[in-house]
Each structure stands twice: as C-alpha cells, then as structure tokens.
Structure 1
C-alpha cells in the first residue's frame, strides 16, 4: 500500500516530445487548411468538409469522456477510479472543441459560392447546401423544394445554430461540473461532492440520451437533408462512444509506458477492453440494421444515401470501414488475454481511432463534395494533414488540461481502494 500512497501526489508534466509532436501536428494541420483555401473551389469545398469532419470527431471524443464519467458515477463503479483523470481531461478540452466546431459550422453556412442547382445558378453555402441554399423553402423560388420546405421549421439557420449552441453548451457545462466536484472532493474529502457527481450524472445522462441524436441529426445527417434515418443518432452515439474509449485506452497506455499511472494493472485494461469490444459490436449492429432495412425496403429516397457510398469513388472505403471497426476489434480483442495485453490494446485502439475517422468520412464527404476519381493524391494529403492538425490540437489541449490536476488520481474518491486492488482472474 505504501507505493500507492507515494504515487498519490504524482502530477503529469506536459513537456518534451509530447508537446513537440502535438505542436508539429497543429502546424501540419494549418498548412493543410491554408493549402486548401488557396486551392480553388474544389480545394475550398474539401477543406470545409474536412474541417467539419475533424471538429465533429474532436467534439465526439471529448463528449465521450463526459459520458464515460457520468455512467461510471451512475453505476457506482470502482474499477475505473484509477484513471478517471484522463476522461476528466477530455471534459476540460470539450469547451475548445465546441468553439472550433461552431466556428466551422458558422463559416460553412455564411461563406457562399456559385453553383448550379437543377439548371439554376444559386449562391450555395459550403456546408449544409442541401437545405441552407436561399430559395429552397420559398414557394416563389425557381428552386423551391417541397421536402426541404416541410423541414424548414428546424432546418433553418437560427434554429439549427441555436440548437447546436444550447446542446453543446450543456454538455460542456455538465463536464465542467464533474471535474469541479472531483477536485473539490480531493480538497475536502467526505461524500458531499461524490453525491453531487452522482446526481449531476443522472441529469446529464437523461438529457444526453434524448438530445445527442438531435445533435447528430443536425450536425451530420442534415448534410443530405432529403434523407433521414431514425437509427442515425444511435449509430453516431455508438461511434462517438467507442472512438472515445479507444482514445482513453491509447492515452492511458502511452502515459503508463512513460512512467505514469503505475497503479493501473492489466485488470483495468481488461475491463476497458471489454467496453471497447462490446461497443464495437454494438456499432456494427446499428450499422448493419440501418443498412439492411434500407436495402430491404428499397425506397428510392432512402436508398440514395447508400447508393452514393456504393459508387466506385467510395465503395472500397465502405467495406474498409467494416474491416477496421468490426473485424479488427473482433479478432484483436475477443480473447480475455488480448484485453490484458497493453500492446494488443494499443494496436486495437489505433485501428479503431483511424476506423472511426473513416466512418465519419463516409458520413460527411459523399454529401458535400463530388469526387471525380477513386483516389486523388492531393485531396488525400490534405485530408491527412487536417486530421494530423486536429490530432495535435486535441493532444495539446487534453494533455495541458491533464497537467493542471494536482494529482493523477482522485485521492479521496470513496471507491479508490476498490480500484487500486482491482484484480480479475
């Protein structure tokens, strides 16, 4: 027990290679964005689409941290206490991610360019042109669209943007409260702040469960506003959750390899691996259910969504998505021993992180850009540069937030002893 006591005051120092690599990633991302904005109409459109993809992913991983904290408190779980600081750092980074997403969405709606719409020249926004192009819901307009007009009560800029602000603001606020109560718990001890965390987690999960699909419907599904799926919100929640778990696992493994979190053992990784494995299967279930019902019904206004993704430009990405997000975690994490291996867990986490970037890519790109080739080297390099930029930004903000904690372990959490002696045979 003395070694654990000695570790209780351990703090994370954000310096050296971690800071350097994150800053290099940010610079690469800035270069990619600038190159896109100076690359003509096609480059600008690709840049906006990538910015939406990466900022949505950034928010999703941070929200997953708040979600993880909340259901751990609600379940009164003890096993995860040893590394709660990591999802708490995600929660602290959420505010930055939200601001960036709102800027991207706002700019994508406000900045317009000329394009042809059913034989008519219009000024369309770079993002959400399917419903935000002026005239689509005006009966006197030459481009009037009855379907869009029917959805205009919620697919209009003030309501759409206001909903994003309110929902993301709420998620950020709840995350900050959970971090605040944990810090107060370390300072004051007792059960008061733990009980507050329990109550606020119950409120958050109730609100989150009902509103996250609305957020996903607006931020992503409305990019192709004629199409809808009642499963889309849960499909996105599964993707957000499993990618967040993978980032938590990868962060924990890398920090442990660098001498931190010495109290975390293979049993903690085993439980974390079970969550990743289970929700990878759940993601596959929802993905398949959405795809199969659309295929089976064969209704044109529904099947057009998957038809786009079966065109040669996207079809091989479509099947790679299943390999990375279902087959890889299935084969890598099915055995108990695999979940207890940090090396195996690291490989699985990296594959899942890349896989869900591809998942979001397939949600966003076919509805925003017209691809001319199966593979475009310039676009690919720009995609990777912007992804590297957001990965660097997330790493910088999250690790900086982690370094602000007085201790890498919640010293006075009531279930700390259970976590420190967590062993699964």
Structure 2
C-alpha cells in the first residue's frame, strides 16, 4: 500500500495556501470603475493608453462582430477585460487540471475497452489521477454557474444587452442559453464521474473475486463510456471553451481539445509512475512500460500538432474575416505564448522523445513531461484569454496563484486517492502479461 507522505501532503497544502493568496490579491486588485481601469492601463503601459484604446475598440468589433453601435463602449469593454483577468486566470488553471484527469479517464477507458495486456499494472495509477475529476469538475461547474449569474464577463453571449444587439447570437440562442448550458454541463460531469466511480469499484472488487465477472462488467462500462465521452467531450469543448468566442467556430475544435487533453493525461501518468517507482513502489513496472507511455506522449504530441496546423493553415489560407480574426488576435496580441506553445508541444517532444533509448530514461521523460504540460497550459491560456481579457494580459499573481492552487489541490487529491487501495491489481486476467511486458 502506498502511504501519502507528510512532506508531500504539507507541500500540496502550502501550494494551495500560496495560490489562494495570489488569487485573492488578483481579485482585490481589479478596478471597479472606468476611471480606475484607464489609470491602471496607463500606469502599466507607461502612459500609452491611447494605443490600447484603439486596440480595445478593435477587440470589441472582433469579439462581437458588430459595428460601433453594438455592444458596450470601449471604456466599458476595457473595464470588463480587466475585471475578467482573475476570473480567466482561475478558469484556465481549473480547466487545465480537470482536463488532465479527464484525459487520463479517456486513456484508461481505452485500455479497458481494448483489453490491453501491457497496461494493467498502471491501472491504479490512472484510477488515482482520475479521482480529481470529482473536485475538479465541481470547481469548473462552479465557475460556469457563477458566469451564468453574471459575476463575470467570460461568456459574452450570457449578457442580454449584447445579445439584444447581435443578430448572430440571437440565432444561436436556442443552443447558447444559460439553462441548457448548465444542463449539458451537469449531464457531462455526471456521466464522467459515474463511469469513474463504477469502474474504480469494479476494479477493486475484481481483486477479491474468484472469477472475471467484474472485469467483464468493467469492459462493458468502458465501451459505453467511450461512446458517451466522444460525444460529450466535443460538445463540452464547444460550450466551455469555443463559446467564449461566440462568433467563431471550428469543426476540428473538439478533436483539438481532445489531443491536448490526452497528451497531458498520458504525460501525468508517466510522471506519477516514475515518482512512485523512485519511492520503491510499483516494482513490476519496468522500462518497457515507461517506454510505451513516452511513445504515447510523443505520438499524441504529433497528433496535436497535426490538428493545430490543419486548423490554423486552412483558416489562414481561406482568409474569411469571421474565421481568421481568431488567429489575427492571437498573433497580434499573444505572439509569444501562441507560437511558444507550438515549440513546447511539438519541437521539444520531437527533440527529446524521438530516440527510442531516451524514452527509457526516467529523468529525460520527466523533463519532457514538464515542458509538455507547460506547453498545454499555454494552449488553454491561448484558447481562453484573448476572448476574455484581450490585450490586457500578462503573467502575474492571478495566473501564478491559480496554477499553484490547482497544482496543490491536484497533488493532494491524487496522492490521497493512491493511498486508498493497493497500487497493483492482483486478479486482472492480463496482470501476468503486463508483469512480463517487454518491448
């Protein structure tokens, strides 16, 4: 049995405490009036507020697809952007860590449905990581609920005044309305959590069973979950991320978010496995298991890059105004994080994990994993921030505080879950194949 060490427990609590402090300062520091917002921008940009006024005016037209008569004035829009910043930073970090747990759940479901022989030794690691789906999902749902109550301006389509002056949003009102939005979110979260809890219970029950009935039930639940997941993940990505840019859409977006989700999840599986092995646990997990996890890290990084390029190239080449504005905003105002994440999510994995031998070197896999996770945090950052904060972004206390808080919460919940059951299944029909797996 794994024991949740006091050092790791205290460290995770300290991360949460420091993170909460940073988040709190971020919320306290937001301006409450237009005058305060203009003064903040002027001080931050050394008095170049006029240029940002023009940029903000352009952002209003881009975000709302409207003329000057539509939507809020430039000054109100600037105020909303600055007020959005701590909310957006919180949402980016909350979604990123929830996305990791959901990506692990999808990978776990695939292994169960495929009846893979190499991975059963890693099932308890995956089950521990997916435990975060419950608190992480509740926090994300809470942010969405607060958005529908108009405590922030993350989703412009939730503002009745904006919709009243926007014909396109009026046409989408049958789908983009707060009641249906929350119902969809509750159904998705309920389905994901239900599968996780049932599969975990069946997995533990299998160890105490004299036959394979629980294993077979888990197989059937996993097949059903994957069908549900493929549909719900796509709709979730439209609802929770793409709708912050309600005038823009991409038919690839669900797959794009899935790629980011799955590569982040597999990366965390590899990093947690290596950590547990370094502490003397998982003795039967060998270099071939780590090698296969690193192969998935490499392969899904290439898959993510393919989808990123396909989405970017086609939209940029077509140069349709209502589509290309999504990338224009990110290239003009988010140049470094936008192209930086491509380097971190594609170039680094290529350089670090191309060689088969390097996939067996634990510290090399950890180093690659840190870069990949940072790159996919930037990916979520680039998906959310331009539509909610515009050009009024920078990495400060709200962003750092949110990452620290959710890092601590993730570590605390995952490693507590890992200590609740033996780390190695004993009655899985493929456990011997997994134990003797060699690539």
TM over 0.5: yes
Question: Hey, what's the Cα distance between the residues in 2 that align with 1:96 and 1:185?
Answer: 26
Question: Hey, what's the Cα distance between the residues in 2 that align with 1:367 and 1:157?
Answer: 19
Could you list the runs of 5+ residues in structure 1 that have no partner in the other structure?
Answer: 1-10, 113-124, 139-143
Q: Does 1:128 align with 2:155?
A: yes
- Counterparts in 2 of 1:187-198, with a 5 A limit? 187-198=208-219
Could you list the runs of 5+ residues in structure 2 that have no partner in the other structure?
Answer: 32-80
- Counterparts in 2 of 1:321-340, with a 5 A limit? 321-340=341-360
Which of 321, 342, 346 is the aligned partner of 2:362? 342
In the TM superposition, what is the alpha-carbon distance from 1:210 to its structure 2 partner? 1.7
- Counterparts in 2 of 1:270-419, with a 5 A limit? 270-311=291-332, 313-372=333-392, 376=394, 379-405=395-421, 407-419=422-434
Q: Which residue pairs with 1:152 in the alignment?
A: 173
In the TM superposition, what is the alpha-carbon distance from 1:321 to its structure 2 partner? 0.7
Q: Does 1:219 align with 2:252?
A: no
Contact 1:55 / 1:100 at 8 angstroms: preserved in 2?
yes
Question: Hey, what's the Cα distance between the residues in 1 that align with 2:14 and 2:150?
Answer: 29
Number of residue pairs the alignment of both structures matches: 390
Which of 66, 74, 87 is the aligned partner of 2:113? 74
Q: Write out per-residue CA displacement over residues 45-100 of structure 1, whole angstroms, 9 at most, x where no aligned residue.
A: 21110111111112211111211111101111111111211110122221111101
In the TM superposition, what is the alpha-carbon distance from 1:109 to its structure 2 partner? 2.9
Contact 1:48 / 1:108 at 8 angstroms: preserved in 2?
no
Question: Hey, what's the Cα distance between the residues in 2 that align with 1:44 and 1:404?
Answer: 41
Q: Write out per-residue CA displacement over residues 386-417 of structure 1, whole angstroms, 9 at most, x where no aligned residue.
A: 10110110010111111111x11111111110
Q: Write out per-residue CA displacement over residues 195-245 of structure 1, whole angstroms, 9 at most, x where no aligned residue.
A: 001101110111111221100000000001000001011000000000011
User: Aligned in 2, Cα 1:18/1:189: closer, same or farther, shift over 3 Å?
Assistant: farther
Question: Hey, what's the Cα distance between the residues in 2 that align with 1:372 and 1:53?
Answer: 16
- Counterparts in 2 of 1:201-216, with a 5 A limit? 201-216=222-237
Give the SS at the match of 2:162. coil
Question: Hey, what's the Cα distance between the residues in 2 that align with 1:126 and 1:263?
Answer: 50
Contact 1:273 / 1:333 at 8 angstroms: preserved in 2?
yes
TM-score w.r.t. structure 2 length? 0.87
Q: Write out per-residue CA displacement over residues 265-311 of structure 1, whole angstroms, 9 at most, x where no aligned residue.
A: 10001111111111100000000000001011100000010010011
Give the SS at the match of 1:399. helix
Give the SS at the match of 1:370. coil
- Counterparts in 2 of 1:75-94, with a 5 A limit? 75-94=114-133
Q: Write out per-residue CA displacement over residues 122-159 of structure 1, whole angstroms, 9 at most, x where no aligned residue.
A: xxx42202x11113344xxxxx2111111111111001
In the TM superposition, what is the alpha-carbon distance from 1:108 to its structure 2 partner? 2.6
In the TM superposition, what is the alpha-carbon distance from 1:372 to its structure 2 partner? 4.1
Q: Which residue pairs with 1:21 in the alignment?
A: 11
Q: Does 1:51 align with 2:90?
A: yes
Q: Which residue pairs with 1:116 in the alignment?
A: none
Question: Hey, what's the Cα distance between the residues in 2 that align with 1:399 and 1:133?
Answer: 40
Question: Hey, what's the Cα distance between the residues in 2 that align with 1:145 and 1:271?
Answer: 50
Q: Which residue pairs with 1:7 in the alignment?
A: none
Which of 3, 16, 22 is the aligned partner of 1:32? 22
Question: Hey, what's the Cα distance between the residues in 2 that align with 1:86 and 1:152?
Answer: 42
Q: Which residue pairs with 2:438 in the alignment?
A: 423
In the TM superposition, what is the alpha-carbon distance from 1:420 to its structure 2 partner? 0.8
Q: Write out per-residue CA displacement over residues 164-201 of structure 1, whole angstroms, 9 at most, x where no aligned residue.
A: 11111101111111101101101214210110011011
Question: Hey, what's the Cα distance between the residues in 2 that align with 1:386 and 1:210?
Answer: 29
Q: Which residue pairs with 2:40 in the alignment?
A: none
In the TM superposition, what is the alpha-carbon distance from 1:15 to its structure 2 partner? 2.0
Question: Hey, what's the Cα distance between the residues in 1 that align with 2:219 and 2:419?
Answer: 25
In the TM superposition, what is the alpha-carbon distance from 1:14 to its structure 2 partner? 0.8
